[in-house]
Amino acid sequence: IKKLKGRVSQLHLKDLKKGIDLPEFGSVPKDAFQELGEGIIPMEPIIQAAQKAGVAHCHVEQDQSPDPIASINQSIKHLATL
């Protein structure tokens, strides 16, 4: 993010499930991602770096969810704590 300062206006945010086995090559399992704050990706330093780099918008991206509305609400609540 630092290297792209001034060149990135939008950022997609995802969180990776704890204990997921990611392939070195190929597609990521459908259940690999979860709501922000529930996985292993530290969101606070990412948001801080995005702000310093001039990113205008961060988008929450949840690939698979049994309840998309509940998932986005949970992610929004987490972002509000940062």
pTM: 0.81
The alpha carbon of 52 is separated from its chain's Cα centroid by a whole number of angstroms, namely 17
Average pLDDT over residues 62-70: 88
Which tens digit of pLDDT belongs to each residue from 28-64? Answer: 888 889 999 999 999 999 999 999 999 999 999 888 8
In this predicted structure, what is the pLDDT of residue 65? 87
Number of domains composing the chain: 1
Q: What is the largest CA-CA distance in the chain?
A: 36
3-state secondary structure of 11: strand
Q: How far apart are CA 14 and CA 16, in angstroms?
A: 7
Segments forming the whole domain that contains residue 33? 2-80
Map tokens 């948001």 to a residue: 47
Binned at pLDDT 50, 70 and 90, residue 73 comes out as very high
Q: How far apart are CA 35 and CA 54, in angstroms?
A: 24
